[in-house]
């Protein structure tokens, strides 16, 4: 997968490329850490985030995270972490001392690769030079900044707690703290946004020269304030023109689109998210965190979900919901991830990860290729440009017959934009 640069999709993976093959040892392992508190809930946000009542219990929460991890260690003995993603909420509310205690506790319990990618999400409204320096010293080596826009009027409409000046300052603070790997999250299709305004916003992000840009369309998600009181969004024709021209802007500036909404300079791809998309394993710790583990001895794929409410998570004893992914749902689960990648994945990796023959993807595979939605190359599972544009329609073809979407272990509405580690 040449477009993934520094990320090796086959690292740690062994399989025999023949029908009904299965993994001979587990796929790469990542860790997602959820820090659930934020200063103020944004009207478009459907993530598991909560405004704290008073001061958030940072130290108690870190202790709960480490207990959570300890409880899962028997499931991953002998495995090491390829990446860590600390998401939220607003992780940059946590003081550096709490992050240092977290990172020290992680290292004491699980081995990390020497080049382990450790990402922390940060809100420019909480950006602090000393905090950023402390995060870097604690072992965080990649910062993901939730800028969303460089237009003050748009930021106000989105309910953000920062302005354009704070967004630029956050990038400067990150660089001063020693961060070389920086992602900027940026939205388009904002309320009242014209093509010219959207392109100017994108150019402002490019001008900051980050290694990675997550550029995604604002969508109205259920159970959000925007869903209850929808703003007036641009017409489809405006969004289509903005998206087409924006892609050209990004390419001209040296950013390669490697996933639906992810653009990177060479070697700056998000390895943590690439592990999801290539069907790697991951532990999830924290309120509402998700995990996925593959049992090599019998091919079982286990999904694990933690309690969403921080109070319940802290109260203990820790409860979680385990669900085995039924064999009939594995094709959908796999394609839901793999087809997000612009280059797709080797066809043989489906057999290895799912323990099923490639024929399990039929007749959808042949029909979608005939319709020009999947690449004709039978050695790869890859959406065409048109297939990427209609990916939800493509994915629905892999749902088990008669299965409602809301009964699938992983819903079809996978986070499509902001960097998020489940």
Q: pLDDT tens digit string along 114-129?
A: 999 999 999 998 888 9
DSSP helix/strand/coil, 165 = helix
Closest CA to 356 of 375, 336, 330: 330
> For residue range 22-51, what is the model confidence (pLDDT) as tens digits?
567 889 999 999 999 888 888 787 788 888
Task: Give the lowest-confidence range in 3-12, 133-142, 241-250, 341-350.
Answer: 3-12
- Read off the tokens for 162: 């920062």
Pick the more confident residue, 192 or 18.
192
Q: Which domains does the chain have, with CATH numbers?
A: 2-275 (3.80.30.20), 327-412 (1.10.10.920)
Phi, psi angles (nearest 5°) of residue 75? -80, -15
Residue 14 DSSP one-character state = B
Tell the residue number behind the tokens 């707690």, with chain if given: 161
Q: How confident is the model at residue 211 (pLDDT cuts 50, 70, 90)?
A: very high
Sign of the C-alpha dihedral, residues 396, 398, 404, 405?
A: negative
Separation of alpha carbons 390 and 375, rounded Å: 14
CA atoms within 13 A on the CB side of 111: 8
pLDDT of residue 331: 94
What is the mean pLDDT of the segment spanning 394-412? 69
Closest CA to 5 of 240, 378, 257: 257
């Amino acid at each position: 997968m040449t477009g993934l640069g520094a990320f090796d999709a086959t690292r740690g993976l062994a399989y025999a490329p023949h029908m009904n093959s299965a993994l001979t040892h587990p796929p790469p392992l990542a860790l997602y850490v959820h820090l659930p508190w934020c200063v103020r809930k944004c009207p478009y946000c459907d993530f598991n985030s909560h405004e704290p009542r008073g001061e958030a219990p940072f130290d108690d929460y870190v202790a709960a995270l480490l207990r959570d991890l300890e409880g899962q260690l028997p499931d991953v003995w002998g495995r090491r972490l390829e990446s860590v993603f600390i998401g939220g909420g607003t992780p940059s509310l946590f003081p550096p001392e709490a992050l240092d205690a977290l990172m020290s506790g992680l290292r004491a319990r699980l081995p990390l690769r020497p080049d382990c990618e450790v990402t922390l999400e940060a809100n420019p409204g909480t950006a602090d030079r000393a905090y950023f320096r402390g995060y870097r010293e604690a072992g965080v080596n990649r910062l993901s900044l939730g800028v969303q826009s460089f237009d003050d009027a748009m930021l106000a409409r989105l309910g953000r707690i920062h302005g354009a000046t704070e967004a630029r300052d956050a990038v400067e603070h990150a660089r001063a703290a020693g961060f070389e790997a920086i992602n900027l999250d940026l939205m388009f299709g904002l309320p009242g946004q014209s093509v010219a305004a959207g392109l100017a916003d994108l150019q402002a992000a490019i001008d900051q020269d980050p290694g990675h840009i997550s550029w995604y369309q604002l969508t109205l998600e259920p159970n959000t304030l925007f869903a209850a009181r929808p703003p007036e969004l641009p017409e489809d024709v405006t969004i289509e023109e903005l998206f087409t021209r924006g892609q050209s802007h990004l390419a001209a500036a040296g950013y390669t689109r490697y996933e639906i909404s992810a653009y990177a300079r060479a070697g700056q791809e998000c390895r943590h998210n690439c592990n999801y998309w290539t069907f790697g394993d991951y532990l999830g710790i924290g309120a509402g965190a998700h995990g996925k583990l593959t049992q090599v001895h019998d091919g079982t794929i286990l999904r694990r979900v933690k309690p969403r409410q921080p109070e319940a998570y802290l109260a203990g004893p820790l409860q979680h919901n385990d669900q085995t992914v039924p064999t009939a749902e594995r094709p959908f689960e796999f394609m839901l991830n793999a087809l997000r990648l612009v280059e797709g994945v080797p066809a043989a990796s489906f057999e290895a990860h799912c323990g099923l023959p490639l024929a399990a993807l039929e007749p959808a595979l042949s029909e979608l290729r005939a319709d020009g939605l999947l690449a004709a190359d039978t050695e790869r599972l890859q959406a065409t440009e048109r297939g990427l544009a209609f990916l939800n329609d493509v994915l629905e073809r892999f749902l088990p017959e008669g299965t409602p979407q809301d009964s699938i272990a992983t819903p079809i509405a996978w986070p499509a934009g902001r960097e998020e580690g489940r």
